[in-house]
Amino acid sequence: MSHLGPETKAIIEAINALKPDKEKLNYQILTIDLGIARSAALDNDEIALPGWFDTLTVGVLTGAATLRINERTKDAIDLAWTKSITSPIKRLFLTNVAQPGATLIMALGGDASFSADPVRLGRKLFTYSVLDEDGALNIFETSQIKTVLPTFMFNQVVDPADLKEGILTKIKVRLNPTNAVTYTLRLWSAAINGAVTPYLQELACIYEMDFVGADDIAYTIVLNRPFSLLVPAQIWYSIEWSAAPGNTPGTISLQGDAVR
């Protein structure tokens, strides 16, 4: 820069001083606990960065979160639908409700800009089930017609505990009422009172038996049914009995692919 005047040199040096040290900022991995609520209202939404980056890749998201880049006033980006972002990045603002056990992992790139995909995606399975070995829990005896509010939820085996969307592929059910009566099983993505909002309840119905279940018969129902839960990890069930079943041991289990 020997041919430049002192004022020009000073301007160039000032600009260079604003640039990040690329030796130190070629990439960074951020692991964020979504069990802590964040928002501008809580004044804890900014994720501190040591300098500028050029790309952002979402590696792991087991909950729900939105992101704003560089300014709080920008539109929120739903990270559930984001794979990577290419943009000058200096500041990050994260908004999420408290989701115990949920995690967000992001990769930020500078000179080492990259987009990471797992080599083996594999299958992420979900299993939800309830079991009453001797009928003492009284979780199967209540008869609920289709249009009432479901009041029973899968709350024993709940894996993963943050399931939001999935594909139901298998239902296993065996109920053994004291009285020899039949039943119809229904599964719900939300607890909705069909007497008040029947059409909304119809949308919430994941599955309805198209046959009558018999006393102490083990059924394995194979299907391919996508669903989206109103509240993560809350799948509801209701049983409509043809008559009072009496004490009813039994089990209901669900299996399938977790989408997110």
In the DSSP assignment, the letter for residue 52 is: -
The CATH label, of 1.10.10, 2.60.40, 2.60.120, 1.20.120, for the domain at 23-109 is 2.60.120
In this prediction, the residues of the chain whose per-residue pLDDT falls under 70 are 1-26, 111-123
Question: Which residue bears the tokens 């080599």?
Answer: 119
Residue 118: CB atoms within 10 A of its CB come to 8
Domain ranges of the chain: 23-109, 125-258
H or E stretch at 15: helix 6-18
How do 250-258 and 125-132 pair as beta strands? antiparallel
Identify the pLDDT of residue 124.
80
Six-digit token pair at 217?
């018969």
Identify the pLDDT of residue 112.
54
Identify the pLDDT of residue 214.
97
Burial class (CB in 10 A: 0-12, 13-18, 19+), 105: middle
CATH number of 125-258: 2.60.120
Question: Which residue bears the tokens 């209701």?
Answer: 238
For residues 204 and 229, give the distance between their C-alpha atoms in angstroms, rounded to a whole number.
8
Taking alpha carbons only, the member of 2, 98, 89, 100 closest to residue 44 is: 98
Identify the pLDDT of residue 167.
93
Identify the pLDDT of residue 120.
43
Which three-class secondary structure state does DSSP give residue 233? coil
